[in-house]
Chain A
Amino acid sequence: MFSLVTFTPFQPTPGLAIWSLLIFLLFWYLMAKFAFKPIAQALAKRENYIQDAIDQAKKAREEMANMKSENEKLLAQAREERAKILQEAKDIKNQMITEAKDKAKEEASKIVSNAMNDIENQKKAAIAEVKNELGNIALSIAEKVIRKELKGNAEQESYVNTLVKEINLN
């Protein structure tokens, strides 16, 4: 039959009490000194190191981002500048072209007008010469005619001159 046995593991015994106190205190002291404290410190050190590394990486990333945005800004500025310069150059070019065109036109018109004047003068001179020549020709013709019919030159000659003058060359 089942008998109610004394539950010996739950009876405190003097030997075990003293030994376990001694062993546990010694265990506590040695583990604290040689294991737990060094490990805890090493872990804390490593954690700080990792945290630092993460912080630094974050900082570097932020710096990079900053630099990138700055670069972009600079690039945009440069682009703008370039566009501006190009525009200016274009304007100058256009201006120069128009100026040159105008000048050329002016010169051309000047040359044309000079040429016209020359032509007019030449024409006038030529007409005057032709008139003179014509007078002479007419005179000589008239002389020939008068010689045959008239005597006295002076009267006839003046008369011929008046006649020549009346010839209006257009």
Chain B
Amino acid sequence: MKYQLFVVFFFILLNGPAAFTQENHNQADTAAVHNAQGQSHEGHDHGTAAAHSEASHDNGHGHEGAHEEFDPASTAIHHISDANVYSILDWLRIPLPMILYTKEKGLETFMSSRFHIGGHEDGHTAYNGWVMHHGSVHRVLDPAFPASGEVKLGEHPFVKKTEEKNGKKTDVTYLSHEGKEYRLDARSTLDGGILGGGITSFYDFSLTKNVLSMILVSLFLLWAFRKAAKAYENNPGRAPKGLQGLLEPIFMFIRDEVAIPFIGKDKYMKFLPLLMSIFFFILGLNLFGQIPFLGSTNVTGNLTVTMIMAVIVFLVVNFNGKRDYWQHIFWMPDVPVFVKPLLAVVEIMSLFIKPLTLMLRLAGNISAGHIAILSFIGLIFIFGKSGASIGGGAIGTAMAVPLTLFMMAIELIVAFVQAFVFTILTASYIGAAIEEHHHADHAEGSHH
């Protein structure tokens, strides 16, 4: 098993940079766009051979123009974002079900293939007043645009503008169609504008790329663990073999180094399934996101996913909190009375900061890893001036390959470490919540 893992690891190291390089190389060819209105066009990060050929058919906008400046930031962000389509290396676009809710039209469901998604994960068709831009669905707000049926869009229909509203600058995307510009609603988010999103007129409940990844990884883990569990049932008391032998040491590690030391030998069985689920769910998704050719989904680097997990941990911890735990929060024993309210404030804050750090640490680490790899690969396009300079591209490649190789190796460690950290902190929070102290004894002991 060790040997197989090593082979997989080697495969990732060997193929990772190559895959990314190829993917981005196509982009360099197609990322040649004029911007007639002089407005900054949004960064192009995805391009395909298909998009390329279409662009050349369309006599005019294409290739012969100046090479567009490469924007590494938006490229990286697009690559690690969730999407309404599952793209594999830009040659396979798996359509996903769209589930959209608006007050006016209620629930709408259709497949994202309706958008005829092409390069940069932009849709070539508008459907029922919806358009696909950079992998996510947007609503055309302008009532002048046809609200139902398919509308074929022109080449490069999306235009980004910066608008000032109440002294705050926000990016607004417009749809350019047949000489007119239609304002698009922002992505559907829940942050109320705090993190750059906004209050939108619709809600997107679609089964996205991240959701599909979660389902796939969950099913794989279920299959693997069910197989291992069956092996235990069929050969009780035998030495573990195969998959069972691979999973057992990790399982034992979480049990013996995380669950039992933090929760205690009597109570750990109650929380072991949660800790194991957290560990293997995160680990599975971390590793899945690192596999080249498979979309490199950034699920555990997505704040929404880690937020949900942190909320679950928060609820489990606080619903299992014993009297001592609450006493420590609201009225800390063994301290002077005037300190007690101060500590209560701090403790109540830490009550929420704990899951908050869980959420941010995991999302930050995994996203950072993806961004670092994408940035190193971005060196090729920065040095190569998006395909204009072959020599520069060669220098960039020479730099990017070892750096990416190194980064992917680091990310492999990070995948394990972050899964472990999330699990061990969860275990420690649960352990602190269910612990029962004996303060009277302590106090007595310290006075004597």
Contact = CB atoms under 8 A, between A and B. Distances in A.
B73 A15 contact: no
Contact of A32 (B69, B72, B187, B277): B277
A5 interface: yes
A16 B303 CA distance: 10
Interface string B48-80: 000000000000000000000101111001101
Interface residues of A, number: 42
B309 interface: yes
Interface string A124-143: 00000000000000000000
A10 B307 CA distance: 10
Contact of B189 (A12, A20, A24): A12
Contact of A9 (B207, B229, B248, B298): B298
Contact of A16 (B208, B237, B255): B208
B312 A24 contact: yes
A21 to B, nearest CB: 5
A81 B228 CA distance: 65
Interface stretch (B15-23, B190-198, B325-333): B190-198
Given A15-B206, A19-B214, A34-B222, A9 B301 contact: yes
Interface in B422-445: none
Interface stretch (B26-34, B122-130, B267-275): B267-275
B131 interface: no
A36 interface: yes
A78 to B, nearest CB: 45
Given A27-B281, A49-B237, A36 B189 contact: no
Contacts of A49: 237
Interface string A24-63: 1111101110111111101101100100000000000000
Interface string B292-314: 00000010011111011100100
Interface range on chain B (Cβ under 8 Å from partner): 35 or more
B363 interface: yes
Contact of B304 (A2, A17, A23, A31): A17
Given A9-B303, A17-B308, A36 B82 contact: no
A4 to B, nearest CB: 8
A170 interface: no
Nearest to B232: A42
A52 to B, nearest CB: 11
A130 B77 CA distance: 166
Contact of B226 (A15, A17, A34, A43): A34
Given A9-B298, A9-B367, A43-B252, A27 B229 contact: no
Majority SS of interface residues in chain B? helix
Interface string B229-248: 10011001100000000001
A9 B363 contact: yes
Contact of A39 (B136, B215, B228, B308): B228
A38 B233 contact: yes
A168 interface: no
B81 interface: yes
B439 to A, nearest CB: 33
A9 B189 contact: no
B176 interface: no
Contacts of A6: 77, 171, 195-197
Given A20-B304, A39-B251, A31 B277 contact: yes
A29 to B, nearest CB: 9
A21 B308 contact: yes
A9 B80 contact: yes
A10 to B, nearest CB: 4
A24 B77 contact: no
Interface string A83-121: 000000000000000000000000000000000000000
Interface string B156-187: 00000000000000010000000000000001
A6 B205 CA distance: 21
A4 B196 CA distance: 10
A45 B308 CA distance: 35
Contacts of B307: 12, 17
A31 B99 CA distance: 28
A2 B339 CA distance: 49
B229 A42 contact: yes
Contacts of A35: 222, 225-226, 228-229
Contacts of A18: 205
Between A10, A37, A43, the greatest number of chain B beta carbons within 10 A of the residue's beta carbon is seen for A10
A82 to B, nearest CB: 51
A32 B236 contact: no
A139 B305 CA distance: 171
A5 B423 CA distance: 32
Nearest to B206: A15
Between B190, B226, B308, the greatest number of chain A beta carbons within 10 A of the residue's beta carbon is seen for B308
A14 B205 contact: yes
B221 interface: yes
B288 interface: no
A26 B211 CA distance: 13
A31 B72 CA distance: 40
> Which 3 pairs from chain A and chain B are nearest by CB?
A32-B273, A35-B225, A42-B232
5 contacts: A9-B367, A19-B211, A20-B309, A25-B312, A43-B255
Given A6-B195, A39-B225, 18 more contacts: A2-B72, A5-B43, A8-B77, A8-B136, A9-B82, A10-B303, A11-B304, A15-B205, A16-B304, A17-B190, A18-B205, A20-B305, A28-B274, A34-B222, A36-B225, A36-B272, A38-B229, A42-B236
